[in-house]
A and B are shown apart, each in its own frame.
Chain A
Amino acid sequence: MTRSHDDRIFGLATGVFAALVLLIVVGIAFELSRQSMLSIEKFGWSFWTGKVWDPVSGVFGARPFIWGTLYSSLLALILSTPIALGIAIFISELSPRVLRQPLAYLTELLAAIPSIVYGLWGMFVLTPIIRKVELLTPEALRKFPLFSGPPVGVGMGTAAIILSIMVVPFTSSVAREILKNVPSAQREAAYALGATRWEAIKVAIGYGKSGIIGAIMLGLGRALGETMAVTMVIGNAPVLSLSLFKPQYTMAAVIANEFTEAADELYLHALIEIGLLLFIITIFVNIASRLLIWSTKRRTIRPVIFPIVAEEESAA
């Protein structure tokens, strides 16, 4: 056997695996569309915009769930990004050498906790605390749409906090790797120009910007698909609201909650169409983050290439 022959087989084999990924994605899209045909035919675009989800009368609209998914993920990102970057910068730049490994290990340990455990913690520990905070919120503040709603403890805000805790280890460990890979020449050059430590760190962050955005987007992917922990604290009410205190709902949560008892054909198809919507939205979020990374990459001198992965939890 010749060397070129081996190469060709190797190339072919890896090519098949690569094609398999494509096939799986197309297969999922096809199967989701096929199994939600009844609902697609009946509701069309109004499925995206409809506000009513009524299994009894067979009217299904997914807007509250789309809103809840995007809003909770966005809030989680806003909360988790500064914390995750802070952890990453401290571990890679400022921390004493002895603390580095244990800290890195502990943040990664957060990622290993099953989401149901986060959910239980949220339900029994975080929810009562949030309820107290809600009860202490002055009446004047509660007139704002952001803080309206009953003081029940569960709701959008609680879900966002849980999500952000779950997202932190992903973002921080990737951001830490990115910062570690910034060539020391960059920092040395900054110091040589008389930069302070903070300024030198800024240079390092600027260098790794595209990778850090990638790290944040990885967190977003995680937040979009999270199911179990969210459903236990979000209150599970399909409501369109800006309020952090009001119970709301997410796409993944409604699938997990209602799938087992959906005996009616149209109902089942509507739930699967929610899965299809989640799939489509995840793809678009991924494309958007790719574009974002690409546009920042072009402005940096030597790009740090980092793959982004969207994590989706299968509905339990």
Chain B
Amino acid sequence: MRPFIITLLLIAACAKTETQQRPSVVTINGAGATFPNPIYSKWFSDYNKLHPNVQVNYQSIGSGGGIKQMTAQTVFFGASDMPMTDEQLESAPGPVLHFPTVLGAVVPAYNLPNVTGLKFTGPLLADIYLGKVKKWSDAAIAKVNPGVSLPNLDITIVHRSEGSGTNFIFCDFLSKVSPEFKQKVGASTSVNWPVGVGAKGNEGVTGMVRQSPGAIGYVELIYALQNNIPIGDVQNAAGQFVRASLDSVTAAAAGAAANMPADFRVSITDAPGKDAYPISSFTWILLYQNPTDKERGRIMVDFMKWALADGQKLAAPLGYAPLPKEVVDREMQALQRVILTLSGAKGKDLKMRMASQLEMLRLLRGSA
């Protein structure tokens, strides 16, 4: 008998908390990219302060995982460092919209005793990562760095060991500037590196580069800034050598804005513009165009509007480049495409269900 009573009590307790919470707090689950996790956490907690009834849980499980969970509809929204491919879009149960949130950049970091201020061209970086340029004293490096005394040291190539959006951004750039890299390696979150050592995470790559004289690696801009390691300037599409900074990354997005497709699925590596840093990228939040849950859909659209306006001011202190105004304006427009009203057969269905529920309530009241 006792277990039975305990069970009853438990059920009662559960029921009670549920009825208490349901009307007040709406929980929205999202999952995806790790790169924007710090800014998303900040955004969601700040948004929660403004709207105490909205609680967003974001799990940074990786871009690929985010797309998968979103497609399987286990989370309400996804986040990714690379746009969904056409195949992925087709396998999703409904049309998915991409919304750029902030910008990131990948920088080449190196460790050469007594050498700073190195410059790289895209093809040079590609040749280094293809294993064709093996020594720091190679003529190809000397050519773009006149006046720098380069040591006769082997280049130790460090790349990421795990699948990552950082890989995608870096390889996407190298594939654009080097046909050979595109053919031999290509761009993806995980690629088959012909040479080098794989280190785990941005911190692993940073650690490896710092430890080994002669090493070159690529890390997210934030890590390079925080760890204060020498980073190289990279030549952009306009032929300028540009150092990565929040301004030069935003400039890349502004340069790419003119030719931006309506769905925002665009790579902005090697973007046009004199000041554009070439290894820059958006990171996206993914929403269903016709969300099944209209209440949560409405909240997410409101959140996006806040993130694109007030939220952008929080980006720079955390090391993310804010979106240029052109992109924000276009996104505000695009947010209207999210269908927030019930329409079609589904809506009718729901209305009917609501009507029958109302009727039942009336009946209950009548009997009481």
Q: A152-B197, A154-B208 are in contact. Are A261 and B64 (CB under 8 A)?
A: yes
Q: Is the CB of B163 within 8 A of A257?
A: yes
Q: Is the CB of B198 within 8 A of A152?
A: no
Q: Is the CB of A258 within 8 A of B188?
A: no
Which single residue of chain A is at the shortest CB-CB distance from B80? A263
- Interface flags, A53-84, vs B, CB<8A=1, else 0: 11111000000000000000000000000000
Q: Is the CB of B163 within 8 A of A131?
A: no
- Interface flags, B43-56, vs A, CB<8A=1, else 0: 00000000000000
Which single residue of chain B is at the shortest CB-CB distance from A256? B162
Which residues of B from 77 to 93 have beta carbons under 8 Å from A? 88
For B212, give its contact among A54, A153, A257 (CB under 8 Å).
A153
B65 adjacent to chain A (CB < 8 Å)? yes
Q: Is the CB of A260 within 8 A of B61?
A: yes
Which single residue of chain B is at the shortest CB-CB distance from A261? B163
A150 adjacent to chain B (CB < 8 Å)? yes
Which single residue of chain A is at the shortest CB-CB distance from B162? A257
Q: Is the CB of B212 within 8 A of A260?
A: no
Q: Is the CB of B197 within 8 A of A154?
A: yes
B187 adjacent to chain A (CB < 8 Å)? yes
For A55, give its contact among B62, B63, B192, B211 (CB under 8 Å).
B192
| Contact size range, A | 20 to 34
- Interface flags, A242-278, vs B, CB<8A=1, else 0: 0000010100010011111111000100000000000
Q: How far is the CA of A124 from the CA of B215 in the complex (A)?
A: 16
Q: A235-B197, A257-B163, A257-B200 are in contact. Are A153 and B211 (CB under 8 A)?
A: yes
Q: A150-B154, A260-B162, A260-B163 are in contact. Are A56 and B211 (CB under 8 A)?
A: no
Q: Is the CB of B161 within 8 A of A56?
A: no
Chain B residues, CB < 8 A from A260 = 61-62, 64-65, 162-163
Q: Is the CB of A131 within 8 A of B212?
A: yes
| Contact size range, B | 35 or more
Q: Which residue among A55, A128, A253, A256 has the maximum number of chain B CB atoms within 10 Å of its CB?
A: A55
B284 to chain A, nearest CB (A): 14
Which single residue of chain A is at the shortest CB-CB distance from B68? A263
Q: How far is the CA of A249 from the CA of B190 in the complex (A)?
A: 15
Chain B residues, CB < 8 A from A153 = 211-212
Q: Is the CB of A56 within 8 A of B187?
A: yes
- Interface flags, B185-221, vs A, CB<8A=1, else 0: 1111111110111111000100110011001000000
Q: How far is the CA of A105 from the CA of B319 in the complex (A)?
A: 47
B67 adjacent to chain A (CB < 8 Å)? yes
Chain B residues, CB < 8 A from A238 = 192
Q: Is the CB of A56 within 8 A of B65?
A: no
For B197, give its contact among A55, A236, A253 (CB under 8 Å).
A236
Chain B residues, CB < 8 A from A52 = 192
Chain B residues, CB < 8 A from A123 = 204, 207
Chain A residues, CB < 8 A from B312 = none
- Interface flags, A181-192, vs B, CB<8A=1, else 0: 000000000000
A231 adjacent to chain B (CB < 8 Å)? yes
Q: How far is the CA of A257 from the CA of B193 in the complex (A)?
A: 14
Q: Is the CB of A231 within 8 A of B161?
A: yes
Q: Is the CB of B204 within 8 A of A232?
A: yes
B164 adjacent to chain A (CB < 8 Å)? yes
Which single residue of chain A is at the shortest CB-CB distance from B175? A56
B156 adjacent to chain A (CB < 8 Å)? yes
A205 adjacent to chain B (CB < 8 Å)? no
B169 to chain A, nearest CB (A): 13
For A236, give its contact among B65, B189, B199 (CB under 8 Å).
B199
Chain B residues, CB < 8 A from A231 = 161, 200
Which residues of B from 171 to 190 have beta carbons under 8 Å from A? 185-190
Q: Is the CB of A237 within 8 A of B196?
A: yes
Q: How far is the CA of A263 from the CA of B168 in the complex (A)?
A: 13
Q: How far is the CA of A78 from the CA of B63 in the complex (A)?
A: 41
Which single residue of chain B is at the shortest CB-CB distance from A120? B207
Chain A residues, CB < 8 A from B161 = 231, 236, 253, 257
Q: Which residue among A52, A54, A236 has the maximum number of chain B CB atoms within 10 Å of its CB?
A: A236
Q: Is the CB of A56 within 8 A of B162?
A: no
Chain A residues, CB < 8 A from B185 = 56
Chain B residues, CB < 8 A from A258 = 162-163, 190
A166 to chain B, nearest CB (A): 18
B215 to chain A, nearest CB (A): 8
For B64, give its contact among A150, A249, A263 (CB under 8 Å).
A263
Q: How far is the CA of A57 from the CA of B192 in the complex (A)?
A: 9
B327 to chain A, nearest CB (A): 25
- Interface flags, A38-56, vs B, CB<8A=1, else 0: 0000000000000011111
A–B pairs, 15, beta carbons within 8 Å? A55-B163, A55-B192, A56-B186, A56-B191, A57-B186, A152-B197, A154-B197, A247-B197, A259-B163, A260-B62, A260-B162, A260-B163, A261-B64, A261-B164, A267-B190
Give 7 new A-B contacts, CB below 8 A, not counting A57-B186, A152-B208: A53-B192, A55-B192, A123-B204, A258-B162, A258-B190, A261-B62, A263-B64
Residues of chain B whose beta carbon lies under 8 Å from any beta carbon of chain A = 61-65, 67-68, 88, 154, 156, 161-165, 185-193, 195-200, 204, 207-208, 211-212, 215
The 4 tightest CB contacts between A and B, nearest first, are A261-B163, A236-B198, A236-B161, A263-B64
